[in-house]
Structure 1
Amino acid sequence: MSVNGKKIAFLVADEGVEQVELTDPWEAVKKDGGQPVLIVGSDSKTVQGFNHLDKGDTFDADLPVSQADAADYDGLVLPGGVANPDALRTNREAVAFVKSFVDAGKPVAAICHAPWTLVEADAVRGRTVTSWPSLQTDLRNAGAEWVDQEVVVDLKGPGPLITSRNPDDLPAFSKALGSAF
C-alpha cells in the first residue's frame, strides 16, 4: 500500500517541533503522492521548528486541532522533539484527535518523544513500541512493550502503530510510513 492520494495529518504544538522529524516524513508523504496537512494544537497560525535546542524555520499551520476531524484523514504522524509532545499530551482536543485515529483503526506514526501523546491517548497498552530512550519507563507503565529498534510497526491493535527512536532513524521511519499508510 502506498500513500498515493491519501490525506495524512501531522499534529504539532506551536510551542515547537523537532524540525527534521516534521519535514522528512512530510516530504516522504508528498514524494509518495500523499497530501500532508499541518494541524496545530492551538489556534496559532504558525509552528516553530527546532534543530534540537536551536530555533529553526517556522511553518504555516493548515488548521487548529479544534477544527480537525480524524474522519477526514487516512493516517496521522506525530513528530517529536521534547516540547511538541509534552504540550500535546496536556491538550484535551489533541489527545482526543489522536485517540480517534487509534479507535478508527487508522495508521498512526510517532517518532522520538511523540509517544508521550500516545500514552495520554491510552494507545500503547498491549503494543510493542520504541521511542527516545528516556520514555521507556512511561511507555512500559502505560502497558507497552518497549524495544530499542530503529522502527517498530505494531499490527496488534485496531490499526498499525509505527514508532521510531530519533532523527537518525528517519529513513526507516519514512519507509514504514509508505508501507503502512
Structure 2
Amino acid sequence: MKVAFLVAKEGIEQVELTDPWKAVADAGHTPELVSPESGRVQAFDHLDKADTFAVDRTVGEARPDDYDALVLPGGVANPDALRMDEDAVAFAKAFFDLGKPVAAICHAPWTLVEADVLRGRTLTSWPSLRTDITNAGGTWVDEQVKVCTAGPNTLITSRKPDDLKAFCETLLGELAP
C-alpha cells in the first residue's frame, strides 16, 4: 500500500511524522511525503528546529487516487499552514470523497476542519481544537485514539505524541488486508 503523508513547508512535529512513517515502512508499505512546495520541509521538536525531510511530490503532482491512505502529522504551525493552502485542503478532502482512510494526530484536524469533512464525525485531537471541531459539526472526545466510521471513510485520530504507539498500531490495523 502507498500512504501519503501531507505536511506544510515547516512546523511539523517531527515525532508525529517519523513514528507513523517508520511504522508504515516497517509494515512493508510505501510512505510518500507530499507538500505544497518541493524541496525539503522543516520539522520541529515542539518549538525547536529538528530535522529536514525531502518532499517526494508536491500537492500539485500528487493524485489522491494513487494512494491507499493519508496521514496528517501535527505540530501547531503545520496544519495551520496547510489549511491556508487550497490545493492541500482539496487533497485531504479527496481522501474522504474517495472513501480512503485518513489518520490525523494532535493539531492535524485543523486541516480537516477547513476541508469541511468533520460534520457527523467523532474524533479526538489536541484539546485546544475542541471548539473548532465542534463548530465544524464534529463531536470531540478525549481518548487516546478514536476510530470513526460514521462517514464515507475511516477516520483515525489521536491527541498527542504520547499516543503515537496506539495511533500507529491503529493505522497499521486499518492498512492490513
TM-score range, shorter chain: over 0.9
User: How does 1:5-154 map onto structure 2 within 5 Å?
Assistant: 6-42=1-37, 44-154=38-148
1:110: Cα distance to partner?
0.3
Amino acid corresponding to residue 153 of structure 1 in structure 2? V
Distance 2:159 2:26 in 1: 23
| Structure 2: distance between partners of 1:160 and 1:34 | 18
The alpha carbon displacement at 1:15 in A equals: 2.1
For the residue of structure 2 that corresponds to 1:16, the secondary structure is strand
Identical columns (%): 64
Give the whole-Å Cα distance in 2 for the aligned partners of 1:58 and 1:169.
Answer: 23
**Is there any run of 5+ residues in structure 2 with no aligned partner, and where?**
none
Structure 2 length as normaliser, TM-score?
Answer: 0.98
Q: 2:169 aligns with which of 157, 175, 180?
A: 175
Pairwise CA RMSD: 0.6
2:156 partner SS:
strand
SS at match of 1:8: strand
Matches within 5 A, 1:156-167: 156-167=150-161
Letter of the aligned partner of 1:33 in structure 2?
Answer: G
Aligned equivalents of 1:41, 1:116: Cα separation in 2: 16
Q: How many residues align?
A: 175
CA shift digits 1:35-92 (9 cap, x unpaired)? 00000122x3101010000000000010110111000000000000001000000100
With structure 1 as the length reference, what TM-score do the two structures score? 0.95
Amino acid of the structure 1 residue aligned with 2:173: S
